[in-house]
Amino acid sequence: MNIGFDAKRIFWNTTGLGNYSRTLVSAMKDYFPDNNYYLFTPAVPGLFDSSGEDPVRVITPIRMLHRMFRSLWRSKWVTGDIENTRLDIYHGLSNEIPFGIHRLPVKTVVTIHDLIFERYPHQYNPADVIIYRRKAQYACRFADRVIAISKQTRKDLIEFYHVPEEKIRVIYQACDNVFEENIPAIRQYDIRLKYHLPDQFLLYVGSVVERKNLLTLIQSLELLPGNIPLVIVGSGHHYKNKVKAYLLDHDHVHPAIWLSEMRPLPQSDLAVIYKLARVLIYPSIFEGFGLPILEALKCGTPVITSVGSCFKETAGDAAIFIDPMDKNALAQAIYKVWRNEHVTQIMRQKGFSYAHHFTPFISASQMIEIYSGLLSKDKVSGLV
């Protein structure tokens, strides 16, 4: 098969959407090398290694006009390059496919990660909501198959956009295999020194935005005795400034260590930080999947997360679930894991066991099945 991907996130996004795209495409070329893969991207800054003899070709805009307006090339003009490449499948990896692609003789797939901008539009720029909505609605209407990364996202697609249930397939995302590697003690020691990490600490991983609810986590720590450090991995703007202002105003006794302000954090380093952490706290109000939960479980790190949304899908029975707005409940859960090694060991074992359901091979295999099924339907119809 000739399979094309919208690869902007692969090369440009360092967080969830980028990690999803890189993990999936890497698994495709590793486990299914007989296919030809084409990565359509406005530019190539180097987050993804597409060199060597892999069956991967990177396609960027060539015409001067397309290079001047790269965003427009990605959202519309790229259809010319798609047609010239003679693809069998084009897969939009992040809530969109190019406008006009429905006129081409190519089967299309789109991954919808979430519709959070529909649930919480007040947390977004109004202009962005309009753009996100237009792109997602077009993709859901014209894609031959819609991939939801959780049952929660499938539910939202039906509720907000009335996408036919039979058009949607849930394929859970995976995380990089680096989170399953055994890490020698010397490597853990080196990472602790590199990032100046305390012997014991809580861990928060995720964008520092209102929905992620970091401030409630910090406020819950005020209810606990002692000096419990919190390591924060994630970037943000307005809400992050709000959190920092709160820490200054309240002379917080529990130190907050912002790793995102030190240097870019490689996935290999993040995996070690998960292993060093006592527990991951993920008190988000709503997500499409919640990848840090899975990364932590893969590393054997206990997880405290929220009730509702997709979190039960991602964590199974391996996490402690709390009302994310209940500071007392969150503080009690933290204290339980922080003080009780027996609880920690049980959670680690449950986490390892449940996380085995999510692997790059499983995700890639299910996706290949979708692609093959779409092409088989055409063959039966005599169109191919």
Q: Considering the entire predicted model, what is its pTM? A: 0.92
Cα(284)–Cα(367) distance, integer angstroms: 28
Share of the chain above pLDDT 90, in %: 78
**Average pLDDT for 334-340:** 94
Q: Is the pLDDT of residue 38 over 80?
A: yes
Cα(4)–Cα(22) distance, integer angstroms: 14
CB 156 within 8 A of CB 118: yes
Closest to 82 in 3D by CA, of 66, 95, 69: 66
Token pair 């606990």: residue: 224
pLDDT of residue 366: 98
Cα(28)–Cα(228) distance, integer angstroms: 42
**Average pLDDT for 363-383:** 84
CA distances from 272 to 184, 258, 269, 342 (A): 10, 16, 5, 22
pLDDT-wise least confident of 121-135, 176-190, 238-252: 238-252
pLDDT-wise least confident of 38-47, 82-91, 220-229, 357-366: 38-47
Q: What is the chain's mean pLDDT, rounded?
A: 92
Tell me the range of 2-11, 89-98, 230-239 where mean pLDDT is highest: 89-98
pLDDT of residue 155: 98
**Average pLDDT for 270-291:** 97
Q: Is the pLDDT of residue 52 over 60?
A: no
Token pair 């590393």: residue: 299
Handedness of CA 104, 106, 112, 113 (dihedral sign): negative
**Average pLDDT for 324-349:** 96
* Helix-helix angle 341-355:291-298, to 10 degrees: 110
CA distances from 16 to 13, 20, 27 (A): 8, 6, 16
**Average pLDDT for 347-363:** 96
Cα(72)–Cα(65) distance, integer angstroms: 10
Q: Is the pLDDT of residue 264 over 80?
A: no
- CB-based contacts of 323: which residues, under 8 Å, 6+ apart? 306, 307, 329
377 compared with 149, residue with greater pLDDT: 149
DSSP one-letter code for 254? S
| 215 three-class SS | helix
pLDDT of residue 62: 84
pLDDT of residue 146: 99
Give kind and range of the element (H or E) at residue 243: helix 238-249
Q: Taking the chain, what is the end-to-end CA distance rounded to the nearest angstrom? A: 13
Domains of the chain: 2-174+360-381 (3.40.50.2000), 177-355 (3.40.50.2000)
Cα(383)–Cα(5) distance, integer angstroms: 23
* Helix-helix angle 185-194:267-276, to 10 degrees: 100
Q: Is the pLDDT of residue 384 over 50?
A: no
pLDDT of residue 53: 52
Tokens describing residue 332: 């009690």
CB 39 within 8 A of CB 7: yes
Q: What is the pLDDT of residues 67-93, one digit of tens each?
A: 788 888 888 989 999 999 999 999 999
The confidence band for 218, taking pLDDT boundaries of 50, 70 and 90, is: very high
310 compared with 254, residue with greater pLDDT: 310
Quote the distance between the C-alpha of residue 172 and its chain's center: 11
pLDDT-wise least confident of 130-139, 226-235, 298-307, 346-355: 226-235
